[in-house]
Structure formats: structure tokens, C-alpha cells
Structure 1
């Protein structure tokens, strides 16, 4: 019987004897006897993930990656692959980066997406560093680090030219899923995204708040002037959405990316958007006002500015947003949030996701479909229903704000 047909590495969730907590264990499964035995390599998951407070789900994914890698080794030994044959005698002691590189190249040949492979690569990097630090393998690994704010993460070990690791093309697939919301962890992820924006592109952090907590489209954000922002500090914030392209963008020949869509189908009275009264929004707002005071704007009415002092165009806003998105995804990976990372990295999403997030907040507030449509500025109905539903929508938002604020503060303060 082949080695791979006799043994398999598997992941098990095991309930602790003296409690309800579960722990993740890497097991060796004897397929002949059906006996499963904990493997000492579980120490990697315990030390690098469990001891750092990672959730059970955040421990399961790296454990599965390690098991798949170890099972790949067993298969390669069965196939008499020269690179792996020595491991049948020495065990992990002779494991080296070429084995990890071989596995990543194997995944690439089998059609895994680039983002999934980068996720695997991150786990394997941590795995090899752990093995080297504890002298479980002979190869001495030189570790280089990436630094972001107060975080330090290990650079990939497999991008070195001599390893010749094969990666998928970075070109996006035409069949990629279009994402409309951050999913079940939206409140935590919203806060993280805004915090990353404050660090990476603070000039659009307020715009992102307008999108997440007010449902504004990109074109509506960049059209906001100082006169359009009605603010009672720490109490209320309302945006008058207008078509200010002739004021803000006379220097642009094509202003299609700056078009404020709802002005095309709503009366000026209904083109007003309440921004939710959330402490984080106010922090970002006051930071933005201070930022504007340091600028020398060529257009003194603009709220969002380019580095040259002109009003920020839709294209520039997109570039800033994508810069934040890239760092945000890196941060998810660094924090071991693999489920969120996989969802958000393997789907297409852009600035318009803010509108979907805002809609789901309104659903959480238990607003009716009509109220949600009005809160989003989606439709125009007859004047009497307009007034009644507009009033009840505003009241419903105000009534539910304490609960939404509490959810946001929970993650903002962590």
C-alpha cells in the first residue's frame, strides 16, 4: 500500500475536557486502522495562532493549509519525486524552501486563484519560520519584515528568484463575483477600512464615511462643496447633493465620472442625505477640516482636494480608494482573518460597495423597503407619501442609531 493511501494529515476540532472550549489539532489518520493521533506539528497552530488570540475559524484555515501541504509531501514521495524522496527517511528535518515553492507552483498549475495562493503562501511562510526558529528543520531561514503602523509581518519566503516559484497571472478573471457588501462582519470591517483610509489616504476618509454611513455614490461624494454640508457638530450632518460640476471641475473635459446620479431623478428637496451620527464619523470629519486648513486650494469651495489644490476628480478618488483597499486586504491577511480575506479578495468591489453596506445597515435597523428606498435616495413617489415616509424614515433612523452606534463603537474602541 502506498504511503499516501496509508496515512493522511487531517484537522480536528477537539472539545477541552474541563470546559466548552474547542481547540484545533492536526492529526495523523491511519487509514488502515482508522485510528487518529494528534501530531506534534499542532504546536505551530497553538503558538502562532491560538496563543495570539485568534478565533477558532482563524486557526482552522492555517491548519488545513499545513495539512494539505503535508499530504502533498506524502503524495510526492509515493510518486518517487526526487525532490521529496529524502523526506521519507529524515522526516521534516530536511524540509526546505524548495519543497514549499514546489507546492505553491503545484497549486498554480491546478488553477487556484492568485489571492488564494497568496493566502497559502502567507501560512507556509509562517510555518517555515516556526520550524526554523525551533530547529525542527536544518535550513536556517533569514527573515525579512514588512512594517505597517505598529505591526510587523514576515515577508514571503518563496518570492526569491532562485526558487523559481510559479504564481498565477495577476490579471483579473472575467467571471469574478461582484460584491455588494462586506458580509456578516460588516461593522468590524467598516471600522477597519476607515481606519486604514485614515492612515493611507486621509484625504478621502470622510468620503468613505459618507458612502458607508450615508450611501453616497462616488460622483455624489466628489460633488460636495462646503456650502452643501450642513453640520451641527457632534449632533447632525446632512449633505445637499447637487450637480456642482461646473463649479468644481471646469478644468475637466469629461465629467462623466463626477456625475451625481440622484440629481437626475430626484427633486432638489429630496437630494439631501443624512449621514449617521457615529463617533468615528465625527472624528474623521474634524480631522478633514484640519486637513483642509493646511491646504492651499485652487477651488475654495471643494471639500475633497487633489494634491494640486483642485477639486478631486472621480478617477483620482477611485485610485485613492483602491490604494486603501489594497492595504485593507493586506491588513486582513496580517490579522489572520482568512475567511474575510478570501471573500473580499476573490470578489470584485469598488467605491459603490459603500451603498450596499449602507443598505444593509438600514435592513439591520428593520426599516421597511419603502423607507430604505427613501433613505438611499432611490426613487421618487407622490408628494403625500413622500412626506409621510420621509418623516417616518428619518425617525426610524434616529430611533435605531443608538444600537448601530453601539455596534460600531464596539469595534472602533478595540
Structure 2
């Protein structure tokens, strides 16, 4: 594989009538075929962010080494066949997404646990990666759907302008040093009253945003991410007896070929996802199909395959449109809690940040409530690893659940399915 390296070289600058040779830092790559070192255009990142701003040679070098370590990590993941990185083999850096930086930061953070790296070192590396992503986006090398904002933080050296961290996102599952990664920065569950609150939230959606009520059911009772919901087609829903299976697939080419930037529409983990079956979801599913059929008859639906369409455009619903509707439901839901005098639940949900991903957290806690252990929860959520679900599971709950059988887990891994046994799902029929 190619290897990225840091090189110091001299440039000539003319000051008045004097030519001065100045040392500077660049990024190169070693060809795996010839062994020769070739200059990389990524040197422009060092030039524009550090040299032109008068940063020292040491500052340039530190940034360059941080970026080359990240790039070499990417090369290693491609070489090892990591599914999340294989696209970069053909697309190069133009295919870079937040998930790649997230996995690198997690890789570094986990080394802090085993005392191989210091927390401060990892935090510094993370800042270089954040600025690198922002530069790639500004150069239109990548199509990032993130915003890099800044906030003022008072420190020992005065007030500093600190960049926001686009990798600090629970959907990415990034492990970040400096805090217990199992404690999320946003609310991930409705708390002990999750059962009545979930019903109230879904029924609120049923009234003010019926076009996404079914999607909310799939999030709360199936753990789907927002991008997974909007990628569903009518053919994605498979019903066998009392069970419903969602065929979660990346259907961008079918549904979103008219959209240029689809990075926020991708399905990272295709799978067959079982629902916690209940009568409410069944009823909303029938209502949703009736609405779709009427939209098609009226000529309002521009797609005859999408399960979720925008009532205003008739096109398949995008993640942004879904988010806007979800937020409308959230605001109405909170107002209802306030009007009812439900102080405890209102304060929990009004004073903390949460959005569409909370459905996945509630689903996780439903699974814990019916006795699944942490490994079974990871399977039922469709996680690639157990680490993603640990953000929702405290040690006490995990230990108490470890007495359940694991044979079904092994079988589920072999089938690559996220299934829940009938003995568990029967509990949900009466919701």
C-alpha cells in the first residue's frame, strides 16, 4: 500500500532584493511500486492553514504528522478490507465521510485505555482531523453535510476560539477521551416512563405529521436510524404471521437519484430488522398505506416505490424533511406535557437535547426491559459491534441480563439478521 510521509524542504522567498530560503513542511506519499516519494497536493492544507498564517515550523510539522497518520490509517483499513473504507479505494479522498474520522478517533481513544496514548495527545489529533475535514469541504473535495462552528472558551491563556466537533455524534458512535463514552451528550431515552411517553409521542405524530408517524414507529419499535427510515420502499416491509421484518437497504439509486449530495441519506448497515410487534404500529401501517394510495390516485406522489414521501413535493422524503417534521412533533409533544402538568417528564425532555435518534435509544431500553443481554441487544439493533449499544446500557443492567442463552445470538450472526424471538415479541401485541 502507499504510505504518506512528512518531509521538510526549502522554499525561496524574495524580500526586497534579497532571496531567502525558508524551511517548510510538506506531505508526500511513498509509491508501493517504486519506493519513490512524491509530493502530495495535501501539502496545501499545511500551507493555507499554518504556513501562510505565520505558524512555526514545529506547528506545521505537528499538523502534517497528524494528517499523515490519519491517511495511513485509512490505507490500512482499506488493506484489511474494512467495509466502511472500501469505497475510498476507488473514490479516494472525495469519498471521505465523517464515519472514517469517527473510527480513527475511536481507534486512538481506545489506546488511551490501555495506556499507549495520553488523553491530551488524542484530543490534539482530533482537532487536526476536524480542521482537515473543514479544509477538504471548503476546497470542495468532499461534500460534508456538517457545519463547523466556533465558540469562545476561557482558558489559562485568555479567551480561545474553539471549533465544534462534528464527530461528537451519537449516530457515529465515536468514543471520545475526556469523558465516559457510555454517557451520551444528548438524551437517548424517555426515561422510566418510556412506555406511556412513546405512545403519546406517536399519537401526536399521528395528528400533526401523519406522513412520518409510521417512521417514528419503526424508530421506537425497530431502532431504525433516520437515514434507514427514508430509504425504505413499499417492498421493504415483509409481514409473516404476527411478525414484521424491515429489509433495511441503501436505496439511494431508486429514491434519491435527483439529489447531488446523498452523504446524509446513506444506509451504513443493511440488514433484516425485526420490529417489536404491537397493534398500534399495525394500525398506523394500514393508515399510511391508505394515505399513499390516495396520494398516488390524486397524482401527488412522484414515486410509486417510496414508503415515505413529502406531502408538499411528492418526492421521496429526505432526511432533512423528516427531521423538520419530527421537530414539529417534538414541540407539540412538549407543549402537551406542559399543559397536562407533567412536570418531571417535561423537565427531562425540555431541558435536554434530543432528536430522531432517541427512538433508537428507547428501542434499546425496550430490549433491556424484556431481558436481552448486551450482546443480544447489539444483534437486535443491527450493530456491527457491541460497543455501539453500550452507550445505553449500565453495568448493573448488563450483568443482570447475562444469564440468557447465547445460541440464538450465534445463529443470528450467521444469518446476518436482527431478529427477536417470539417469546419476547408477544408482550408488545397489546400496545
TM-score, structure 1 length as denominator? 0.51
Give the SS at the match of 1:277. coil
Give the equivalent residue in structure 2 for 1:202: 210
Given the superposition, is the C-alpha separation of residues 207 and 394 from structure 1 closer, same or farther in structure 2, using an over 3 Å criterion? Answer: closer
The offset of 1:371, in angstroms, is: 0.9
1:3-402 alignment runs, 5 A limit: 178-232=186-240, 235-263=242-270, 271-296=271-296, 297-307=301-311, 308-379=313-384, 386-387=410-411, 397-402=421-426
The offset of 1:236, in angstroms, is: 2.0
CA separation in 2, counterparts of 1:206 and 1:395?
20
Q: Larger relative CO (CA 8 A, sep 6+): 1 or 2?
A: 1
Given the superposition, is the C-alpha separation of residues 281 and 295 from structure 1 closer, same or farther in structure 2, using an over 3 Å criterion? Answer: same
Give the SS at the match of 1:374. helix
CA displacement 1:141-172 (0-9 Å, x = unmatched): xxxxxxxxxxxxxxxxxxxxxxxxxxxxxxxx
CA separation in 2, counterparts of 1:252 and 1:396?
35
The offset of 1:253, in angstroms, is: 1.1
Kept in 1: contact 2:186–2:352 (CA 8 A): yes
CA separation in 2, counterparts of 1:319 and 1:191?
20
CA separation in 2, counterparts of 1:375 and 1:192?
24
CA separation in 1, counterparts of 2:284 and 2:338?
25
Kept in 2: contact 1:374–1:390 (CA 8 A): no
Q: Identify unmatched segments of 5+ residues in structure 1.
A: 1-173, 264-270, 410-414
Kept in 1: contact 2:219–2:359 (CA 8 A): yes
Given the superposition, is the C-alpha separation of residues 235 and 390 from structure 1 closer, same or farther in structure 2, using an over 3 Å criterion? Answer: farther
CA separation in 2, counterparts of 1:210 and 1:344?
21
The offset of 1:405, in angstroms, is: 4.1
Kept in 2: contact 1:217–1:351 (CA 8 A): yes
RMSD: 2.8
Give the SS at the match of 2:192. coil
CA displacement 1:154-195 (0-9 Å, x = unmatched): xxxxxxxxxxxxxxxxxxxx9x95100000000000000000
Q: Which has the larger radius of gyration?
A: 1
Kept in 2: contact 1:177–1:346 (CA 8 A): no
CA separation in 2, counterparts of 1:390 and 1:276?
22
Q: Identify unmatched segments of 5+ residues in structure 2.
A: 1-164, 166-183, 387-406
Q: 1 or 2, which has the higher helix percentage?
A: 1
The offset of 1:400, in angstroms, is: 2.1
Give the equivalent residue in structure 1 for 2:112: none
Give the SS at the match of 1:185. helix
The offset of 1:397, in angstroms, is: 3.9
Give the equivalent residue in structure 2 for 1:69: none
CA separation in 1, counterparts of 2:418 and 2:322?
29
CA displacement 1:10-69 (0-9 Å, x = unmatched): xxxxxxxxxxxxxxxxxxxxxxxxxxxxxxxxxxxxxxxxxxxxxxxxxxxxxxxxxxxx
TM-score, structure 2 length as denominator? 0.49
Kept in 1: contact 2:234–2:306 (CA 8 A): yes
Kept in 2: contact 1:367–1:396 (CA 8 A): no
The offset of 1:302, in angstroms, is: 0.2
Give the equivalent residue in structure 1 for 2:176: none
The offset of 1:399, in angstroms, is: 0.9
Give the equivalent residue in structure 1 for 2:107: none
Give the SS at the match of 1:261. coil
CA separation in 1, counterparts of 2:353 and 2:378?
24
How many residues are treated as equivalent by the alignment?
Answer: 225
CA separation in 1, counterparts of 2:354 and 2:330?
9
